[in-house]
Structure 1
Amino acid sequence: MGLKSDEIVIRGGKPLIGRIEVRGAKNLATKAMVASLLGDTPSILKDVPDISDVNVVRGLLSIHGVRITDPARGELILDPSNVETAHFAEIDAHAGSSRIPILFCGPLLHRLGEAFIPDLGGCRIGDRPIDFHMDALRAFGAIVDKSYNGIHLTAPNGLKGANIELPYPSVGATEQVLLTAVLAEGVTELRNAAIEPEIMDLIAILQKMGAIVNVEPNRVIFIEGVKSLNGYTHRAINDRNEAASWAAAALATKGDIFVEGAKQQDLMTFLNVFRKVGGEFDVHEDGIRFYHPGGELKPVVIETDVHPGFMTDWQQPLVVALTQAHGTSIVHETVYENRFQFTEALNDMGAKIVVHKDGLKDVQRRVARRDFEQAAVITGPTPLHGADIRVPDLRGGFSHLIAALTAEGESKITNVGIIARGYEHFVAKLRKLGADFDFAG
């Protein structure tokens, strides 16, 4: 995973062609590692990606006494038999900019009766309020004390099942409730839950551990608390967000990429849009081939939404391809209010993207409008040229890579370490696909 430098120089204008592999999803593997805290016996997680977010969770588990071994590539054995309280400074140091520590709350309250959460970081793509998490934990009976450097939680009377309705189907808050409710006394009813494939895979893990979780229609989940849980053996769901990113790279660079591990059933909404833009794909048992078939790309209108809608993580890489479409495309971002920061660099490279910070109100919509949403209007095709770019966030950073690979001339991209948070061995994969680049410095 380690990078030679945090700066890369790309010489673009060359199609990406070849075969690469995606493995376990960042948004599942890290949560599955946290779930191991709930078991009385060791857990085995397979297809774990070699990304920095996994290393963050690994460090956090280690300082809490979880013994972690690597018997094979992409496989972790997590033994929680000696879980202990960690010092606040250690948690803060290991967490870095990650927001994953908040999901330790429920499991640690069950195991130790307390949890410490530092100030939370993460990608600067918009407000990710922790109120949903704290309100849910209070509903279970946790006492939340905020201080200048973080949050201290206790559960002097244990955690009890609760009736919880989320204001928005937040993935993180849904995970919080699941990880807390499975050992809480009584029944928990969660309404307006997220139902992403990674959530379903986490539920499958919890069921393997001995949990009783029923997924009902209309985003309702019932969890019957049990006395104890065992460890699990599980192979992580493949990373659909990484697969979509490579698909967008194939489209933007007029390339042809076979993404081993990509699953049609997890990408159906993306595949529909990919085809409408003018891309083609062939579904195989072991993956999906994404390619530009020639001809003109077409403009589209996209509204991001929670699953099964068009995921917000898909729009940033695809926007680069839309700069090459003939006509005007519109992307309505309804999940994060600052996710169009990355378009400034694209405009510096020659794109014509106008961001409407209050969204576009007088248009026909399928997804309900949210107060803070924004819209981007992309007019194309526009030739892209090389530029100096600083990566702002994970998906935006990969989008900048795609733009540099699409552009004529040389681009220097700094802060590329952020990309390693969610894209396993992306440098090696770029080499396999024939990209022309070097590390600076």
Structure 2
Amino acid sequence: MDKIRITGGQRLNGSIPISGAKNAALPLMIASLLTDETLTLVNVPRLSDVTALSRILSNHGADRTVAGKRIGQSAESGQTISLTARQIVDTCAPYELVSTMRASFWVIAPILARMGEARISLPGGCAIGTRPVDLLLMALERLGAEIRIENGYALARAPKGLKGGEIVFPKVTVGGTHTALMGAVLAQGTTVIENAACEPEVTDLAACLTKMGARIEGAGTPRIVVTGVARLGGAHHTVLPDRIEAGTYAMAVAMTGGDVVLEGVTPDLLQAALDALIRAGVDITATNEGIRVRRNGAAIAAVDIETQPFPGFPTDLQAQFMALMTMAKGTSRIRETIFENRFMHVQELARLGARIRLDGDVAIVEGVPKLTGAPVMATDLRASVSLVIAGLAAEGDTMINRVYHLDRGFEALEAKLSRCGALVERISG
């Protein structure tokens, strides 16, 4: 199993190209099941989750082609993937496939919308809480689907097709909004989605579906109106930049000091996180190339945050910000309101010398003058990259185990950090 060794203490200087967003690419790939024509996606990141979802879509009958690299492209450049599902050859997604990645459960919506039935394995729990699919199933029921749970599978039927309806989410859910959109675009009549997620990745899916012929109004607001159409066609769409990757590298620069341009990303995608960094004493500037992040060595100020749905502070940057706060001057409070059990990185940060105590959904972080390298274990995707951030600033070597978590969400992480002066090495084993 691969490991990553980091020798801390190096300032980061240079530029980092930001990849396409994983959290946008996955639902966009699933949307290919809504049409028998070709959906071409540009700037898809090279990640293990993308590879796993490609296998799942292939199981349902989607053919995939990947364009070759253009002259001058590096491994850090996103790929172009074309998906064509001329026929859905299997309406069942078995446990052995769905269990590898929770987002694959979202195939239930396009398969049901197109075929009138779907049998999808329930994904079960995960390292950061149960994340149930009840709201996703509720959305499909509001569109007229009959759903029952049997032997660990969700069995959905709509033999006469889905029908427009009103979907009111009791809480904001990105997965639920993705599911509602993909179900509603082929439903008969009009669907109103209330308390919809406003995340940029939802807006990106709506933009792609619109290119495919869907009629969607209000994406990016809490109220989305979808007028169903008889069929969708193919499209050509570029995946938006990954705001979580951008925020992660911004926090790495804040942690180590230095001057880095995050190429291809705009502040509006992660303004709440940038505002928190500014309060911590980091210089953030929008440029023609992207976002410039600078810290000249002045102390990091302690900042309190609370995770919220977009446009609030993202839960997917909570662990990274906590790593930054471990060396802040003073004490910060970090409240996690989105997912349960999303503080498992605390014990591993403590191995590096961090002082953190938990009080329910709040982590109280007392800044320390220095961190010291140690062997640590990644527990999930965002927790693992928080250990990378801490290791970049720690004295000595930090060895991060279970880095397959990183491969799920960060494209060419070692290469991007190394080009800015970090001492990062992957050790195969």
Question: Same fold by TM-score, threshold 0.5 exceeded?
Answer: yes
Please tell me whether the aligned partners of residues 123 and 394 of structure 1 are also in contact (alpha carbons under 8 angstroms): no
What TM-score do the two structures reach when normalised by structure 1? 0.91
Structure 1 pair 354–341 and aligned structure 2 pair: CA distance change class (3 A): same
Deviation at 1:350, TM superposition (A): 0.8
What are the within-5 Å matches in structure 2 for residues 72-221 of structure 1?
A: 72-73=68-69, 74-85=79-90, 88=93, 91-120=94-123, 123-215=126-218, 219-221=222-224
Deviation at 1:104, TM superposition (A): 0.6
Partner of residue 252 from structure 2, selected from 249, 253, 268:
249
The answer to whether the aligner puts 1:318 opposite 2:305 as a matched pair is no
Whichever residue aligns with residue 37 of structure 1, its letter is: L
d(CA) in 2 for partners of 1:320 and 1:132? 32
Partner of residue 50 from structure 1, selected from 25, 40, 46:
46
Give secondary structure in 2 for the equivalent of 1:146: strand
Aligned to 2:21: 25
Please tell me whether the aligned partners of residues 195 and 307 of structure 1 are also in contact (alpha carbons under 8 angstroms): yes
Partner of residue 387 from structure 1, selected from 345, 349, 374:
374
What are the within-5 Å matches in structure 2 for residues 310-349 of structure 1?
A: 310-349=313-352
Give secondary structure in 2 for the equivalent of 1:85: coil
Give secondary structure in 1 for the equivalent of 2:44: coil
Aligned to 2:362: 375
Which shows bigger deviation, 72-81 or 60-69?
72-81
Deviation at 1:123, TM superposition (A): 4.9
Please tell me whether the aligned partners of residues 350 and 382 of structure 1 are also in contact (alpha carbons under 8 angstroms): no
Please tell me whether the aligned partners of residues 97 and 122 of structure 1 are also in contact (alpha carbons under 8 angstroms): no
- Provide the alpha-carbon RMSD of the alignment: 1.7
Q: Structure 1: give runs of 5+ residues left out of the alignment.
A: 358-373
Structure 1 pair 217–317 and aligned structure 2 pair: CA distance change class (3 A): closer
Q: Deviations over 1:96-132 (max 9, x none)?
A: 4311222111110122222222241575112211110
Structure 1 pair 18–121 and aligned structure 2 pair: CA distance change class (3 A): farther
d(CA) in 2 for partners of 1:273 and 1:350? 23
What are the within-5 Å matches in structure 2 for residues 229-248 of structure 1?
A: 229-248=232-251
Find runs of 4+ consecutive structure 1 residues off by over 6 angstroms: none
Deviation at 1:44, TM superposition (A): 1.0
Deviation at 1:180, TM superposition (A): 0.3
d(CA) in 2 for partners of 1:41 and 1:304? 39
Deviation at 1:87, TM superposition (A): 5.5
Give secondary structure in 2 for the equivalent of 1:223: strand
d(CA) in 2 for partners of 1:259 and 1:272? 16
Deviation at 1:33, TM superposition (A): 0.7
d(CA) in 1 for partners of 2:270 and 2:298? 24
Aligned to 1:418: 405
Which shows bigger deviation, 324-333 or 113-122?
113-122
d(CA) in 1 for partners of 2:215 and 2:90? 28
Aligned to 2:62: 66
Paired residues in the alignment total 419
The answer to whether the aligner puts 1:15 opposite 2:3 as a matched pair is no
Whichever residue aligns with residue 35 of structure 2, its letter is: G
d(CA) in 2 for partners of 1:9 and 1:236? 31
What TM-score do the two structures reach when normalised by structure 2? 0.93
Partner of residue 429 from structure 1, selected from 407, 416, 421:
416
d(CA) in 1 for partners of 2:122 and 2:87? 26
Structure 1 pair 136–86 and aligned structure 2 pair: CA distance change class (3 A): closer
Structure 1 pair 217–390 and aligned structure 2 pair: CA distance change class (3 A): closer
Give secondary structure in 2 for the equivalent of 1:318: helix
Q: Structure 2: give runs of 5+ residues left out of the alignment.
A: 70-78
Please tell me whether the aligned partners of residues 282 and 289 of structure 1 are also in contact (alpha carbons under 8 angstroms): yes
Which shows bigger deviation, 79-88 or 306-315?
79-88
Deviation at 1:262, TM superposition (A): 1.9
Q: Deviations over 1:368-394 (max 9, x none)?
A: xxxxxx111111134111122111111
Give secondary structure in 1 for the equivalent of 2:20: coil
Whichever residue aligns with residue 182 of structure 1, its letter is: V
Give secondary structure in 2 for the equivalent of 1:132: helix
Q: Percent identity?
A: 38
